[in-house]
Amino acid sequence: MGEQEVTADADLDPLLVAALCGTVVPGRETLGGLFRQDGAADGLAPGPVLAELTAQQVARADELSDDEVIGTMHAARRQANLADYQQTVMVAVFTRRRRAQFEAALAAGKPAGCRDGEFPGAELAMELTETQAEAGLRSDTAVELTTRLPRTLALMATGVLDLGRAMTIAQRTLILSDTDAAYADEVLSAVAADMRPDQLARKAAALEMKLAPEAVKARKEQARQLDQRVEVRRELSGNASLSGRELSTADALASKAHIDAIAARLRDSGMVEGTLPRLRALVLTDLTQGRAPLDRIKPGSSSQDPQDPQDPRPDPAPGPLPALINLLVPADTLLGQGNAPTQAGPWDLLDADDTKTVVKAASRHPRTRWCVTVTGTDGTAVAHGCADGQHPWPASSPPSASSPPSASGPRSASSPPSAGRPPEGGPEPPLHALLRRLNITLDPLARDTCDHQHAENRYVPSRRLRHLLRARNQTCTAPACNAQAVHCDSDHTVPYPDGPTCECNLNPKCRRHHRAKQAPGWKVTQPAPDTARWVTPAGRVHTVGPTRYDS
């Protein structure tokens, strides 16, 4: 075996070189010792040498002392910070190229939708598998870091500062003048590494308000005008949160004070149990569902749930709501014979109990409609159909998950449409009974090939055809996009009338990706009815298949 030549930097500790080569130096510390506090590798800059030494440490992690474990953690973080620096530089290069293309097209007088470089956020989001908002922020902050924040960028390159803190600084300098941005870079980079992310965010925001108060004021007003909204999100526990976004500070504080005052009255009455935070949440849900929270303490009101005498503090059932959120309920869960989570549109997952509550509430609303999607063994849709008219969920609860199934067993949502029929003289499976009551006719979906069974001689697809498309693809068919199909355009892959209005030529696309598809450099094809193939301006190819429903 031939000899290998090792060339070391003049500043590199010879012991580090020996460790890389597996050579033992008598009387010197071991490899693990290099990573102790103040050891030779403890402050080593990120790069190939630290990467190799760290990999060796990880391979023998269980043998390390606590001090060495922590030292190796710091080393891995420095390596990650270097990787973030490298990616930031590349994102900035990409962004500047697309901006130059766009500005050239704009100067040439090309109309909107026909300009090169017009959708860099959509392109970057596909490559990084991020939302377009996240990709857009990455682009803006990468350019900011590489052009106006040299100190902060240098800290990333040396492994001292992570991407999150660097982006926090960059976000707060975007609206500053060059002079103020340079000052902020100097001030914030000096303290960023020693501050928690929340502390750095407060300091950066305070500095931004001090340096550019008018610009901050204008940004706030623009956000109130364009981005005010109410959001429902899923908590990590499985519960949900309800919030108003981009409200004026005065309105938010006034609303909070009103909720606090009512919650205090409920607590002081002694008639409603619960902590003050719990009562505040109770007041919020009462007020937003048309109930008067103070009715709970009126004379004659009962603090007990008539359904459960052991529960002294009931939560009233939610009022009727239209199921415009497109609930995707596994049949077994709906019928009380399984626990697979329900998909509640963009609001994520519901467990079996929440599913029962929401389905009952939704079914009481006159605008709610029932639809059934049958999936194959691979979790993709094979058939879909919808019921006509309103069908309130029966007042009686479905069978419990622990109750034994009928002799023939219920048909799950992944069974073929013909399954689940009761044996001669046997009990009817719950799912079969539900489908019979809803009187739903299932239409098969085109998958690998298309017989144009559902083709229509019109530009705008019918409701029936749109439902088939949404059953096949629950979201926009652009890579990494999670826009709900119910809010998307039904886009002809080959423009109508050259391309048919049919499953094999239609896909849901959000408005941004619909426009991107038509811009220079982009190409979208549909090699199979359930497959979309995207080619970006960079020439990279992404293929998106049908939605795979969770079983």
Q: Which is higher by pLDDT, 441 or 12?
A: 441
Q: Which is higher by pLDDT, 243 or 328?
A: 243
As given in the structure block, the two tokens for residue 126 are 């596909």
Between vectors from CA 257 to CA 261 and to CA 290, what angle results, nearest 5°?
70
Tens of pLDDT, residue by residue over 102-157, are 999 999 999 998 999 999 999 999 999 999 999 999 999 999 999 999 999 999 99
The residue-averaged pLDDT of 435-446 equals 85
Q: How many Å is the Cα radius of gyration of the chain?
A: 30
Tens of pLDDT, residue by residue over 10-24, are 455 555 555 555 544
Lowest mean pLDDT among 84-88, 410-414, 424-428, 459-463: 410-414
Mean pLDDT over all residues of the chain? 83
Strand (E) positions, 146-254? 229-234, 240-245
What region does 483 belong to: left with phi over 0, alpha with psi -120 to 50, or beta? beta
CA–CA distance, 252 with 245 (Å, rounded to integer): 9
Sign of CA dihedral 174, 178, 182, 184: negative
pLDDT at 22: 52
Could you tell me the pLDDT band of residue 442, with boundaries at 50, 70 and 90? confident
Ordered by start, the domain boundaries in the chain are 75-225, 228-316, 327-444, 463-544
CA 450 remoteness from chain centre: 33
pLDDT at 31: 62
Nearest-CA neighbor of 71 among 47, 48, 53, 49?
53
CA–CA distance, 454 with 445 (Å, rounded to integer): 9
CA distances from 12 to 52, 56, 259 (A): 14, 18, 63
Nearest-CA neighbor of 363 among 327, 400, 321?
321
Q: Which residues, including other chains, have CB under 8 Å from residue 317's CB and lie 6 or more apart? A: 357, 360, 361
CA–CA distance, 339 with 401 (Å, rounded to integer): 8
Could you tell me the pLDDT band of residue 528, with boundaries at 50, 70 and 90? very high
Nearest-CA neighbor of 168 among 189, 182, 154?
189
Asked whether the predicted pLDDT for residue 28 surpasses 80, the reply is no
Q: Which residues, including other chains, have CB under 8 Å from residue 161's CB and lie 6 or more apart? A: 81, 152, 155, 189, 192, 193
Asked whether the predicted pLDDT for residue 389 surpasses 80, the reply is no
Tens of pLDDT, residue by residue over 71-80, are 999 999 999 9
First and final C-alpha spacing in the chain:
55
- Based on DSSP, count helices (H) and strands (E) in the chain, helices before strands: 17, 13
Tens of pLDDT, residue by residue over 152-187, are 999 999 999 999 999 999 999 999 999 999 999 999
Q: Which residues, including other chains, have CB under 8 Å from residue 113's CB and lie 6 or more apart? A: 515, 518, 519
pLDDT at 370: 81
CA–CA distance, 263 with 293 (Å, rounded to integer): 9
Cβ(165)–Cβ(197) below 8 Å: yes
pLDDT at 212: 94
Asked whether the predicted pLDDT for residue 468 surpasses 50, the reply is yes
**Residue 458: CB atoms within 10 Å:** 11
CA distances from 192 to 117, 137, 179, 208, 333 (A): 34, 20, 20, 15, 49
Q: Which residue has the tokens 């239609």?
A: 506
pLDDT at 379: 86
What region does 71 belong to: left with phi over 0, alpha with psi -120 to 50, or beta? alpha
The residue-averaged pLDDT of 503-527 equals 96
CA–CA distance, 100 with 12 (Å, rounded to integer): 42
Tens of pLDDT, residue by residue over 217-235, are 999 999 999 999 999 888 8
Cβ(442)–Cβ(461) below 8 Å: no
Asked whether the predicted pLDDT for residue 307 surpasses 80, the reply is no
Which residues are paired to 243 by β-bridges? 231
pTM: 0.79
Tens of pLDDT, residue by residue over 311-367, are 444 455 666 655 445 567 777 666 676 777 777 665 566 777 777 777 777 777 777
CA–CA distance, 207 with 192 (Å, rounded to integer): 13
pLDDT at 318: 63
The residue-averaged pLDDT of 34-51 equals 90
Continuous segment of H or E residues that includes residue 338: none
Cβ(476)–Cβ(506) below 8 Å: no
CA–CA distance, 85 with 73 (Å, rounded to integer): 18
Could you tell me the pLDDT band of residue 277, with boundaries at 50, 70 and 90? very high
Cβ(488)–Cβ(510) below 8 Å: yes
CA–CA distance, 120 with 25 (Å, rounded to integer): 53
Q: Which is higher by pLDDT, 343 or 56?
A: 56
Q: Which is higher by pLDDT, 282 or 412?
A: 282
